[in-house]
Structure 1
């Protein structure tokens, strides 16, 4: 089984999300099913079928989160060397084809937020940068072709 690397904060965030699903959303859906059942004929009861579908989706999410948390390895960022790109790094890079400067933070599950440039360390994009140092040129194989970057700065 593949490990899922994350920070302690990311782990706590996912545990809280799982707790809410189990202790708040699950009972709400069970109540909605019971209410819909009281309407009678289940064959043509849209509320009942919608609640059952919501229950199935929630249970799938719960199993997915439980699996992810079971495979989690908490990364202690205080032991990570800071001279190269590793988990938790904030990396400033220059796109060698466009000249654009881009910033990324390599984070674990639960902390990812692509809109704010926080990308999963397990993503192929982030994996291409791992172990590289300032001034290294990195090639990333992407669906659009090979992207070329130069690492300008690494911060933790």
Structure 2
């Protein structure tokens, strides 16, 4: 089983989500019990809704437990800053064509959120940046075509 990289923040978020789901388990079980007391289960909408909610909750718990079991948590704050782009680093880029600055943190697939500036390690931009250093210029193939960036700064935060 291959390990999947994950940041410390990503692991914490998954553990919090798992905790919430585990606290919902007894509440759902209680709702099933109360609905069962209402009588005929074939036509009991409350019972069927509670059972469906239980199925969804259990599936989410299994999914999170699996993700945590295969996670390789990487804490870049404990690594020596060499100026090299690696998983977990925050990279400040300058678009060579427009001089616009963009900042991305390279994270695991489940943590990616482009609006928050977090890109998946498997995205075209991240794959083009991994292994490069501050000051390097990189050409990255994106869905919109070739983009040229200069790596202004690499942070291990």
Shorter-chain TM range is 0.7 to 0.9
Corresponding position of 1:40: 39
CA-atom RMSD in angstroms: 2.6
Change in Cα spacing, 1:147 to 1:74, as seen in structure 2 (3 Å) is same
Bigger mean CA deviation after superposition, 55-64 or 88-97: 88-97
* Count of residues in correspondence between the two structures: 155
Q: Distance in 2 between matches of 1:2 and 1:66?
A: 15
Q: Which runs of 5+ in 2 are unaligned?
A: none
Per-residue deviation, 1:122: 4.2
Q: Distance in 1 between matches of 2:99 and 2:144?
A: 17
Q: Deviations over 1:52-109 (max 9, x none)?
A: 2222221111111111111111224223552211122111112345442111122347
Q: Distance in 2 between matches of 1:44 and 1:96?
A: 65
Corresponding position of 1:54: 53
Per-residue deviation, 1:28: 1.5
Q: Which runs of 5+ in 1 are unaligned?
A: none
Per-residue deviation, 1:110: 7.2
Change in Cα spacing, 1:123 to 1:30, as seen in structure 2 (3 Å) is farther
Is the Cα–Cα contact under 8 Å of residues 134 and 154 in structure 1 kept in the other structure? yes
Describe the SS at the equivalent of 1:119.
strand
Q: Distance in 1 between matches of 2:30 and 2:56?
A: 16
Kindly indicate whether residue 2 of structure 2 is the aligned counterpart of residue 5 of structure 1: no
Q: Distance in 2 between matches of 1:97 and 1:41?
A: 69
Change in Cα spacing, 1:46 to 1:145, as seen in structure 2 (3 Å) is farther
